[in-house]
Structures are given as C-alpha cells and as structure tokens.
Structure 1
Amino acid sequence: MQKKSIALAIGLFVVGGLSGMVLEHFRPIVRAHAEVSLGTAQKLFDAVTHGRAKADKVFSGPGGLTGVEVDFDGHKTVAFITADGKYLVAGPVLNAQGNDQGHAAMIRLGLVPKPMRASALAKETVHADSFVLGTGGPEITAFVDPNCIFCHKFYERAQPLIAAGKLRIRYLVVGFLKPSSEAKAAAILGAPNPAAAMAENEKGFVEATEEGGIQPDEHASAATISAVRDNTRLLSESGEIATPTLIYCDQKGAPRLIHGLPKGSLKDFAGHIGNLQNGVCRK
C-alpha cells in the first residue's frame, strides 16, 4: 500500500467507522499494558502520513495490537499498530462477530457519541428536512447519501413497492461519502421538488464510479447546507455514519434501526413491518 493510500484509509476511518458496528461490551482501555510507546506510534504516523497525523495516546487493543487515539487533520479517530511497531492498521478491526473494535474504542474515548436508541432517534428525525415517496403502505425513514451505491440499489428496489402503494419512505438526505456529496444533497433538499431531484440523481447514477447523477449545488443557501449537516449529525447519532440507515417499526410496534439493506427481499421486509409516522409506531 502506498503512503498516500494509508493516509486516505485513516481519513476514511475518521468519517466515522464506515464499515464498523457498535460493540455493546468491550474491555476497558488500560494504557499500562500497551505494547507500543507513544513515541514509536508517532514515528510510524510521521512516516506514513507525512506529519498529518498526531498520536495523542496509546492503549491496549485486541489481539496484541496497540490502539492509538489519533488527530488526523484536526479530526479525532482511532487506529491500531502491530506489536513490533512497524505496521499500521488504519481500517476496521473486526472480531468473530463482525464487530469493529476501533469504533467501540472511539465510543469509549468519547470521540463519537454513544448510539441513540432507535425510539429516541425516530423522534429526533421528526423535524428534520425530509420528503416522503409513496402514498400507501407502512412508512419507514431512510438516511441516504447521493453518492451511495447501496442507497441507489435500495431506491430502485423500492420503486415497485412505492408504485403499488405498499411502502412509503421518508428520506433524510445526508452528505459525507465523497467531496461532492454535501453539494448534491443540497441540490436535492433545496430543489422545488425534492422527490423529482432525487429521481434525477438516481436515474443518472453511475454505478462504475458510484456517483449520483444530480449536479452539485455549489451555491446552495446557508439554510439548505445547515439542513444537510443536521441530517448528517442525526445519522451519526445512530452510532455509525453509514448509508442507507433505516428506522422502521417491527410487528410488535417497536422502533428498530438497521445499517445497510434489509436481509432478504424488500417486498418481504415491507410486508412484515409496522408504520412509523411522526417518530412513533402507529397501527
């Protein structure tokens, strides 16, 4: 891996553990048992990031790794270093259950907020800048980024259900995946008809480059940019900045949250959920 690529990997990790899942339990951070000193960690970061990253503290990580709290271009994150101090792990560190140890450490260190419960987050989204596609069926809330390929697939799969009156989706558009994401999100939310703007983005979506089709609005109003950033902040309170993130009601009337696409077919998913409106589950 090139040094530039490693720096980029750390930068992606800063965004919020894009591939990570939140651990409910993880062992306490104990600096005394760290295998790699803070000075050694800093030397490695200097070598691979050309001085862009500053190692603030070290702690014991999983599998003999040393965890490092890092300041990367003014953003706090966590990375891991091998016991010999020669190799940097600048991405998700997963256990056998698929849980990301780095993201859990970021919560423990206070670098990212503790995940909000689905019921609380659902109520927080009520006043967010959003729009609804569909007129019948159960309603769910979806956080999407204009450049997210899985959001694009979700949009396409949902269209037949929306057209048949079997699903309604309230979209909260966010912007974090690519440099153009925020301006594209602003182009959608700031449009006279956000649903039509979303359709334009998805119709022109280029899967090869994972780029939404709408033109970025580089001159969006401050209010629109603020709305996009507020939506992105709400997404971060789900515990993971990942799209699509869905909030829905289960058959027992309890709010649920999932990161990514539902398992199985979307048709089956829509047929076994409740109705989420105004932040609460309704019959």
Structure 2
Amino acid sequence: MTVIGYAFYAVFALTEKDKLMLKKILLLTLLPGAAFAEELPAPVKSIEKQGITIIKSFDAPGGMKGYLGKYQDMGVTIYLTPDGKHAISGYMYDEKGENLSNTLIEKEIYAPAGREMWQRMEQSHWLLDGKKDAPVVVYVFADPFCPYCKQFWQQTRPWVESGKVQLRTLLVGVIKPESPATAAAILAAKDPARAWHDYESSVGNVKLKVPANVSPEQMKILSANEQLMDELGANVTPAIYYMSPENTLQQAVGLPDQKTGDAANLLI
C-alpha cells in the first residue's frame, strides 16, 4: 500500500452521517452571506420565503432556469419551468441516472468551502512530522492521551519516513483533565515537533515537564485548534484531513480501518 493510498482509504471508514456532518459544518461556516442580487421570479420567491437562501442562478437542462441555495445549512436546487409560472425544489437527474443537482452543489458549495477550511488549517499552529516538501499533506488533530492517535502515527511511519507524506499535527486537549497541560508541555519544548515525535514514538512514556498551569500562550493555541476542529465537525481524535486529487477536502474521524485498504488502489 502506498502512502497516498493510505491517506485516501481513510475516508472510506467514514459513515454517510460523518460525511454529511462535514458538509453541513463547512456550509454553515463558509457560505457567502451576500443577498442574491437578481430579481427572483414569483414561484422562486414563494419557495425562498420557506427559509431558503438563494445564492446564484444557473442555466438548467430542458430550457429551465435553476437556482442554487441553502436550507438549514444544506445545499438545495430549485428549477423554474420555461413558462416562469412554476418552480420545483429537488434533484434533477439525466438519462443516465446522474444526479446533476448534487454535482452542482458539490462543485459550487462544498468543494470551495472545503478548500477554505484547508487554508485555515494551513494558517493554524501545527507540528511538522516528515519532510516539508513531501507531496502529500495530511492534517491530524491529536490529543496526547489518544491511543488511536498513537496507532495512526505508528501506521504512517513507512510513508512519512520515505518522504512521501508529511503529517501536520494540531494538538488539542480534550480527552483527559491533564490533556491540556500535557499538550502545553509539548508546545513549550525547545523543539515542539521533535518533542511530539519522541512522545508518540515512546507510546506516551517519554517524560515531559508538565506545567502546573497552562500558560496563556499555549492555551490560546490549544483553544484555537479545538475551535477549528469543532468547526470541521469532528468530535473525536484523531481527526484526519487531506485533499483528494480533485482538490476537495476529505475527512476521516477516528482511526482509519486498514481492512478497507483495497480503496488505496484508487490513488495509486
């Protein structure tokens, strides 16, 4: 199995509920707030009054006019009949059974939102594990007392050490009462990235100078990481993120199931 393949198959451990939650969170956080500028046809206005926010219009098949919007943080599509007197809210399928509406929602809403969240992770406080020029970048939210984080760290060694993948760890303190102080001790080390590497490689047995109280500086970092993790819709560690070849954000929450390794072939 390749490193790239490993990163990819992680998402297959997600349930559909997990994927839906990620999309909801990204949509809620990042959808543009500006009002739709065009004058809406009466049938579309009537649907808008039901709580739908119209984002943009588009040309739809069959001579219809389409409108992309959101309802309760989910993407929706509305189609106006050619006579302009009727509007239909729902999915449109072509003769091959392809969901044209979902393709549009993914492209116009979820994919851009995911890329913006990726940029936020890039700008956050993370610890580099691996070569900084490794082609595959994987972000991991990890707690010092998370056993699955340690397993994931161990499983990625062949790919990180071969220079194919770089892990960027965002430390959080959410599992135990002593998690914040332990994470702060790593962040306060002379070389935090090395301290985290040594800590994980020792399976948490390395001795740290754990402070009695977390400094404001370290607490700010931990709080920011935890807030970002929450906005991404993750509530357990490890929370793993990477970009697919199509430049869309992928999420795996919890330890990826290696039994799904056949999916790795999709990125080889």
Which TM-score applies when normalising by structure 2? 0.52
CA-atom RMSD in angstroms: 3.4
Structure 1 equivalent of residue 161 of structure 2: 163
The answer to whether residue 118 in structure 2 is matched with residue 131 in structure 1 is: no
Q: Which amino acid aligns with 2:172?
A: V
Q: Secondary structure at the match of 1:198?
A: helix
Instruction: List structure 1 segments (4+ residues) > 6 angstroms apart after TM superposition.
Output: 265-271
Q: Secondary structure at the match of 2:115?
A: helix
Q: Which amino acid aligns with 1:260?
A: G
The answer to whether residue 238 in structure 2 is matched with residue 244 in structure 1 is: yes
Alignment of 1:32-181 (within 5 A): 118-135=114-131, 136-181=134-179
| Cα drift, residue 247 of structure 1 | 1.0
The separation in 2 between residues aligned to 1:183 and 1:159, in whole angstroms, is 26
Any unmatched runs of 5+ in structure 2? 1-16, 22-111
Q: Which structure features the higher share of helix residues?
A: 2
Are the equivalent residues in 2 in contact too, given 1:147–1:178 (CA < 8 A)?
A: yes
Structure 1 equivalent of residue 212 of structure 2: 218
Q: Which amino acid aligns with 1:183?
A: A
Residue 172 to residue 158, structure 1, CA distance change in 2 (3 Å): same
1:262 maps to which of 245, 249, 256: 256
Q: Secondary structure at the match of 1:146?
A: coil
| Cα drift, residue 121 of structure 1 | 2.4
Residue 180 to residue 262, structure 1, CA distance change in 2 (3 Å): same
Structure 2 equivalent of residue 184 of structure 1: 182
Which TM-score applies when normalising by structure 1? 0.49
| Cα drift, residue 23 of structure 1 | 8.6
Q: Which amino acid aligns with 1:235?
A: M
Aligned residues: 162
Residue 223 to residue 267, structure 1, CA distance change in 2 (3 Å): farther
Q: Secondary structure at the match of 2:258?
A: coil
Larger radius of gyration: 2
| Cα drift, residue 190 of structure 1 | 2.0
Residue 265 to residue 169, structure 1, CA distance change in 2 (3 Å): farther
Q: Which amino acid aligns with 1:144?
A: A
| Cα drift, residue 194 of structure 1 | 1.2
